Amino acid sequence: MPTEQSAVEDEPATYSEAEPWEPEEADEGSDEADDSDRERDRRDVKMLSYEKAMALPVEVGDVTAEGGEAQLTGEEIARFMDEHLDEMYDECIEKELRRDNELGTVTIELAIRGKDGMVLGATIDPGRRRFRNCLENYLEDVRFPTFSSPRMGARYRFHTD
């Protein structure tokens, strides 16, 4: 079970004056959605690395309109991720530790979209590819609370020893 120590570091969002990014359609497979929740939570973009997701241009909208650039605080990110830590442990971390792979402190860098709280990109270190893919797959279904900024970056750490 991971220790309860976790840390989050806010990363400033990056903005570009380039044209708005048109996301690639995610491969949804052939499974049909059975309920409206699943339809609502479907990804509309493929998961990228944190670095690639944060480098994408965003549309900042009308700067004369109210709405602001509010982002989630480090405390909000930590609380949200802490709520998911047991599930991540059950699905991914425990399996990796059973393979005799020491993880120590795991760092997850997240690029989060403001309008729907979707994780656009994640970079996970350390860990083998199978472990990183497992956590990325888990994070694809996670939805953070929404915020008014187009996107934000955050760093979340937890300890496995």
**pLDDT tens, residue by residue, 81-140:** 999 999 999 999 999 999 988 899 999 999 999 999 999 999 999 999 999 999 999 999
Whether residue 40 is predicted with pLDDT greater than 90 in this model: the reply is no
Rounded CA gap, 39 and 143, in Å? 14
Q: Band the pLDDT of 32: cuts 50, 70, 90.
A: very low
* Mean per-residue pLDDT, 20-46: 44
Q: Band the pLDDT of 17: cuts 50, 70, 90.
A: very low
Q: How far apart are the first and last CA of the chain?
A: 8
